[in-house]
Amino acid sequence: MFVVAMITSSCNKDDVIEATYEENHYRAKSENSSAEWSKVFEYTPAPGQFIGETRTGGFTGNESTAADAAAYAEERLSKGAFISLGGYGGYIVVGFDHSIDNNHGYDIAIKGNSFSGSSEPGIVWVMQDENGDGEPNDTWYELRGSEVGKKSTLRNYSVTYYRPDSPEQPVKWSDSEGGSGEIDYLKAFHQQPYYYPAWITADSYTLTGTRLEARNYDKSGKGTMWVQPEYDWGYADNFSPIDRATDSKGKATAINRFRIADAIDQKGNSVDLEFIDFVKVQTAVNAKSGWLGELSTEVLGFYDYSMMETVE
């Protein structure tokens, strides 16, 4: 159903942008609507130890196009298996079979595989289908987390990854801050020839987003016990004491909850979205933890939180 509205994009007295559009392409829930994601539109990871890996990573070795990569991600999510987004900037985009309402509470839930001492935070972005074409080709809005506004948090940060010249080599990268480094090749654990996505035909590609300050450290001092502390709230695959959901017995789960009301624009201003249609998660930290390899956000599921019954 289409609702005609005036085009508005101005700040109110509280610096909240009211985002309405000429045609409001809202898709109401029906009795057949699912709480879970319905489609993977894009899966573009950064290089990483699980990318292209046929064992725990679940790749077939035949993923040669972007469509193949999205199909891989759909199959993994359908089975409840993890999808690795690789190093900094890697992302996945999903949609639902209905619009998710802004209830001004928790609206979205995302399952990761974090636990105490092992958080690999992912920035969450949302999009409303402004043009009504059913594709995630409109405006992405970041969801505010605890690190927004801190000096250590960089927005519009970019990393460029370079294809290795030969198999079993690390993947080199350079960033928009003049830094450089490598995604390590961990032959003892992940032996696929390349950690660079096979379906990306270019010899380099660039990923851009928001970067959080790394908090990982070696507790042992000998490189044997790496700790990846949680961030307060607002990130996927993060063992947050605040937004982590509990099950019917009150036990903590690996599901984080998010509010559409926390949407912000490129300048950090709050944006009032009545609903959203697409969700993106993107690895938010550019760091590695010794033998554990790169910090890489993992996702296992996306949900309309208002429709979930197994968590509180």
Q: Three-state SS string across the chain, please?
A: CCEECCCECCECCCCEEECECCEECCCCCCCCCCCECCEEEEEECCCCCCCCCCCCCCCCCCCCCHHHHHHHHHHHHHCCCCEECCCCCCEEEEEEEEEEECCCCCCEEEECCCECCECCCEEEEEECCCCCCCCCCCCEEEECCCCCCCCCCEEEEEEEEECCCCCCCCEEEEECCCCEEEECCCCCCCCCCCCCCCCCCCCEEEEEEEECCCCCEECCCCCCCEEECCCCCCCECCCCCCCEEEECCCCEEEEEEECHHHEECCCCCEEECCEEEEEEEEECCCCECHHHCECCCEECEEEEHHHCCCEC
Contact assessment for residue 89 and residue 46, using Cβ atoms and an 8 Å cutoff: yes
Tell whether 179 is covered by a domain: yes
The C-alpha atoms of residue 26 and residue 148 are separated, in whole angstroms, by 29
Residue 256 lies in a domain: yes
125 in a domain, yes or no? Answer: yes
Side chain identity at residue 87, one-letter code: G
Instruction: Name which of 271, 269, 270, 294 is nearest 284 in CA terms.
Output: 294
CA distance linking residue 195 with residue 185, whole number of Å: 7
Residue with the two structure tokens 């996306």: 302
Q: Identify the pLDDT of residue 89.
A: 98
Which pLDDT does position 12 carry in this prediction? 41
Q: What is the dihedral of CA 155, 153, 230, 82, to 10 degrees?
A: 20
> What is the predicted pLDDT for the residue at 143?
98
In a domain, residue 169? The reply is yes
Residues 6+ apart with CB under 8 A from 248: 310, 311, 312
Has residue 312 been placed in a domain?
no
Q: How far apart are CA 80 and CA 243, in angstroms?
A: 21
Chain-centre distance for alpha carbon 107: 16
Predicted local confidence at residue 311, as pLDDT? 60
**Cβ atoms of residues 40 and 279 within 8 Å:** no
Residue spans of the chain under pLDDT 50: 1-14, 17, 19-22
Residue 150, in any domain of the structure: yes
User: What is the model's pTM?
Assistant: 0.91
170 is a domain residue: yes
Domain span at residue 37 reads 3-307
- Is residue 216 in a domain? yes
From CA 283, how far away is CA 293, in angstroms rounded?
Answer: 14
* pLDDT the model gives residue 247: 83
Domains in the chain, number: 1
Q: Using CA atoms, how far apart are residues 47 and 49, in angstroms rounded to an integer?
A: 7
